Structure 1
Amino acid sequence: MTLLQRALFIAFAITAAWPSLAAEKVTVGVLRFVSSAPLFIAQERGYFAAEGLEVEFKFFQAAQPIAVAIASGDADFGVTAFTSGFFNLAGQGALKVIGAQSREEPGFDFSAVLASKTAYDHGLKSIEQLKGRTLAITTPGSSFHYMIGALGLKRGWPKDAVQLRSLQTPANMIGALKSSQVDAAILPAFLAKPLIAANEAHLLGWVHAEIPYQLGGLFTSSKNAKDRRPVVEKFVRAYQRAAADYSGALNARDAQGKRVFGPEADPIIAIIIKYVPNQTPEKVKDAANFIDPQGRLNVGDIHAQVAYFKSQGIVDQGVDAKTFIDVSFIKGHFNIPK
Structure 2
Amino acid sequence: MKFTLNRRQTLLGLGATSALVGFGLPARANTKVNVGVMRLASHAPSFIAFERGYYKEAGLDVELKYFEAAQPMAVAIASGDADFGITAMSGGLISLAEKEAVKVIGGALTEEKGLVGAIILASNKAYEAGLTHPKELAGKTFGITTTGSSFHFMAHKIAQANNISLSDISLRPLQKVGAIVGALSSNQIDSWAIQPSISKKMIAENAAKQIGLVSDYAPDYQVTTVFTSTNNAANEREKTQAFIKAYARAVEDYNKAFVDRTADADEVDAIAKICHKYVESDLPFEQAKNNLVEGSMRINSNLALSLNSVTEQLDWFKAEGMVKGNITPEMLFDTSYVDVI
TM-score normalised per structure 2: 0.81
Task: Give the CA deviation at 1:207.
Answer: 0.7
Q: Structure 2: 5+ residue runs without aligned partners?
A: 1-26
Structure 1 residues 171 and 296, CA gap change in structure 2 (3 angstroms): same
Please report how far the alpha carbon of residue 247 of structure 1 lies from its aligned counterpart in structure 2 after TM superposition. 0.8
- With over 3 angstroms needed to count, the CA separation of the structure-2 counterparts of 1:175 and 1:245, relative to structure 1, is closer
Gaps of 5+ in 1: 1-19, 255-259
The 1-side partners of 2:47 and 2:282 are apart by: 16
* Rg comparison, structure with higher value: 1
Q: Percent identity?
A: 39
Quick check: 1:81–1:101 contact (8 Å CA) kept in 2? no
CA distance in 1, matches of 2:330, 2:30: 33
Find the residue that maps to 2:77 and give its secondary structure: helix
What is aligned with 1:59? Answer: 66
Q: Where does residue 278 of structure 1 map in the other structure?
A: 282
Change (3 A) 1:68 1:21: closer
SS at 2:78 equivalent? helix
Residue 296 of structure 2 is aligned to residue 314 of structure 1:
no
The C-alpha deviation readout for 1:260-319, integer Å capped at 9, x for no partner, is 984421111111122334353233335533212221121211122222222332222222
Amino acid at match of 2:137: L
Rounded Cα–Cα distance in structure 1 between residues aligned with 2:309 and 2:243: 24
Change (3 A) 1:324 1:210: same
Please name the residue that 1:196 is paired with.
203
* 1:270 maps to amino acid: K
1:72 alignment partner AA:
S
Match of 2:3 in 1: none
Report how far residue 62 of structure 1 moved.
3.5
Check the 8 A contact 1:100/1:295 in 2, yes or no: yes
C-alpha displacement of 1:138: 2.7
CA contact (8 A) 1:36 1:101 kept: no
Q: CA RMSD of the aligned region, Å?
A: 2.6
Query: What is the CA-CA distance between 1:135 and the residue it aligns to?
Result: 2.2
SS at match of 1:301: helix
Distance 1:68 1:236 in 2: 21
Match of 2:161 in 1: 154
Aligned positions of 1:98-137 closer than 5 A: 98-137=105-144
Q: Secondary structure at the match of 2:227?
A: strand
Checking the alignment, whether the CA contact within 8 Å between 1:81 and 1:215 is kept in structure 2 is yes
Q: Does 1:48 align with 2:59?
A: no
Q: 8 Å contact 1:38–1:242 — kept in the other structure? A: yes
1:323 is aligned, of 307, 324, 331, to 331
The structure 2 residue matched to 1:264, chosen from 249, 264, 267, is: 267
Change (3 A) 1:72 1:261: same
Counterpart for residue 254 of structure 2: 246
- The CA distance in 1 between the partners of 2:65 and 2:41, in whole Å, is 16
Instruction: Give the corresponding residue for 1:297.
Output: 305
C-alpha distance in 1, partners of 2:215/2:324? 28
- Displacement of 1:328: 1.3
| Equivalences, count | 309
Report if aligned partners of 1:246, 1:293 keep a CA contact under 8 Å in 2.
no
